[in-house]
Amino acid sequence: MIYDSQYTRSELAKEKKGWGHSTWEEGVMVCQESGVKQLILFHHDPDSNDQTVDQLQESARARFPNSRAAFEGMDILL
């Protein structure tokens, strides 16, 4: 599943409230509840640097090991 994970839950509760995006936490929950095999974190905040995206990926992997952060030029074989 390729999922909009632009913000964290805490960001959406504060400064990004109502911005219409989702979180890696929600993506993990959907995957766990629906039997998805792989989660691709997509639509990163333009203000996020590589280290921030890597941290989001590691947080997602802690709860859903088959998670990856999308990156420019990434190909996915279906």
CB 43 within 8 A of CB 21: yes
Is residue 74 in some structural domain? no
Tell me the residue range of the domain where 25 lies.
2-69
Q: Which tokens go with 59? A: 């947080």
pLDDT digit string (tens) for the chain, length 78 residues? 999 887 778 777 777 677 777 888 999 999 999 999 999 998 877 778 889 899 999 999 999 999 999 888 999 888
Among positive and negative, which fits the CA dihedral 46, 52, 53, 57? negative
Is residue 41 in some structural domain? yes
Is residue 77 in some structural domain? no
Overall number of domains in the chain = 1
Is residue 28 in some structural domain? yes
Burial class (CB in 10 A: 0-12, 13-18, 19+), 33: exposed
* Maximal C-alpha separation, the chain: 37
Is residue 40 in some structural domain? yes
Is residue 75 in some structural domain? no
